[in-house]
Amino acid sequence: MNTHLALSIFLLLLFWVILPGNKNGRASQAGKGNTGAPGDQTLNGMPYTCVDCHDDGAFNPFVAIHVVDSSNTPVSQYVPGRQYIARVTVNPSAGQTPAGYGFQMIALRDNGNVDLDGFTDVNPNNYKLVTISNGRTYAEHPTMSTSDTFNVRWTAPTAGTGSVTFYAAGNAVNGNNNSDGDGADYTSLQLFETGTLSDLQPFSGNSLRLKAFPNPCDREINVSATLPFSGNLLLKVYDLSGNLIWSESALNLAPGAIARQIPTEKWPAGTYFLQLGGNEIDQTVKILKL
């Protein structure tokens, strides 16, 4: 047996031994963060997430993050020191029935991408907290979960922290103890601090500051804006031919910061225009879909 063949067999065996262990959580078993967050594991300069191992196409889940308050209402801003639930949902595609689910999540301060370490665990829950060697603490599954929803307790940071972003990756698995036949996705959600809108440029008169990021985008795009006054507003996306690609129902929004996340994975590559309008407000941002 030559050296190259022996090395290949060794690496293959090592792959099959290590991979099943990650069913108890990537941070716990491998000491890695794989949420796609800045500072997490990368491969060739790109985020290395659950998708890189669990993406055989048998399942096509969509991962979503929502931060909800005590009345179970999703929020786009946090009140410093208040407790919330950071909810990760691994939504399987229609007609698909995974055997179970897994996830990993972290929340970082946008200024410096500092770990907020605001998660708490009150047993029994279908998640656990794991701190890895670089000091970052992740919420993740302790073992394969039969529920596609993970409700993680989160305490907002102190006043003056500014905007924060949650990063999460999730798996939909078939339960065969390896990545064959599974599916995965990852996403992020940005929250702004109530009463502190320094992250956004100030508006002037009846204008607003509309932002879309990341731009160019791939799987999703985050939208944020500062509203100068309340009113019925509509968020729309058009292609270069003027066709309406995506829209949100008109909402009576209060003044201040808003944030939305739009899935773009199924859009063809190209140029699009994001428009926020209504009540004498009209601003458009160009989006590039990879």
**Both 82 and 188 in a single domain?**
yes
Q: Average pLDDT, stretch 60-65?
A: 82
**Both 168 and 225 in a single domain?**
no
Where does a domain end: 146, 166, 193?
193
In a domain, 240, yes or no: yes
Q: Which two tokens stand for residue 229?
A: 């006054």
Residue 91 exposure: Cα atoms within 13 Å on the Cβ side: 10
In a domain, 13, yes or no: no
Residues with Cβ within 8 Å of residue 163, at least 6 apart in sequence: 109, 110, 111, 190, 191, 192, 193, 199
Predicted local distance difference test score (pLDDT) of residue 120:
94
Q: pTM for this one?
A: 0.62
In a domain, 122, yes or no: yes
In a domain, 262, yes or no: yes
Instruction: Write the burial class of residue 243 (CB in 10 Å: 0-12 exposed, 13-18 middle, 19+ buried).
Output: exposed
Predicted local distance difference test score (pLDDT) of residue 290:
86
CATH number (domain holding residue 257): 2.60.40.10
Q: Residue 83 — pLDDT band, cuts 50, 70, 90?
A: very high
**Which sign does the torsion angle of CA 108, 120, 88, 256 carry?**
negative
DSSP code, position 241: T
pLDDT digits (tens, 9 = 90+) for 173-232: 887 766 566 778 888 888 888 754 333 333 333 445 678 888 888 888 888 877 766 666
Predicted local distance difference test score (pLDDT) of residue 234:
77
CATH number (domain holding residue 185): 2.60.40.4060
- Residue 261 φ/ψ, nearest 5 degrees: -125, 125
In a domain, 40, yes or no: yes
Q: Residue 12 — pLDDT band, cuts 50, 70, 90?
A: very low
**Both 163 and 223 in a single domain?**
no
Q: How many CB atoms lie within 10 A of CB 15?
A: 12
pLDDT digits (tens, 9 = 90+) for 98-125: 888 999 999 999 899 999 999 998 777 8
Predicted local distance difference test score (pLDDT) of residue 17:
40
Predicted local distance difference test score (pLDDT) of residue 98:
86
pLDDT digits (tens, 9 = 90+) for 140-176: 999 889 999 999 999 999 988 988 989 999 888 887 7
Is it the case that residue 35 has pLDDT exceeding 80?
A: yes
Number of domains the chain is built from: 2
**Both 136 and 166 in a single domain?**
yes
In a domain, 239, yes or no: yes
Where does a domain end: 165, 193, 221?
193
149, 87 Cβ separation under 8 angstroms: yes
Predicted local distance difference test score (pLDDT) of residue 209:
66
- Residue bearing the bigger pLDDT, 77 or 137: 137
In a domain, 203, yes or no: no
**Both 107 and 152 in a single domain?**
yes
Q: What b/e sequence results for 183-207 when a residue is b if at least 16 CB atoms lie within 10 Å of its CB, and e otherwise?
A: bbbbbbbbbbbbeebebbeebeeee
Can the peptide bond before residue 47 be classed as cis, meaning omega within 30 degrees of 0?
no
Q: 238: phi > 0 → left, psi -120 to 50 → alpha, else beta; which?
A: beta
**Both 222 and 135 in a single domain?**
no
Is it the case that residue 56 has pLDDT exceeding 60?
A: no
- Look up residue 228 and give its amino acid: P
Q: 17: phi > 0 → left, psi -120 to 50 → alpha, else beta; which?
A: alpha
Q: How far is residue 280 from each of residues 202, 231, 232, 244, measured CA to CA in Å? A: 17, 9, 10, 21
**Both 188 and 213 in a single domain?**
no
180, 56 Cβ separation under 8 angstroms: yes
Is it the case that residue 129 has pLDDT exceeding 80?
A: yes
The most confident of the ranges 20-34, 62-76, 196-210 is 62-76
Where does a domain end: 193, 219, 249?
193
pLDDT digits (tens, 9 = 90+) for 224-268: 877 766 666 778 888 877 778 888 765 666 666 777 888 998 899
Q: Residue 279 — pLDDT band, cuts 50, 70, 90?
A: low
**Both 218 and 243 in a single domain?**
yes
In a domain, 201, yes or no: no
Range of the domain at 263: 209-289
Predicted local distance difference test score (pLDDT) of residue 230:
63
**Both 52 and 182 in a single domain?**
yes
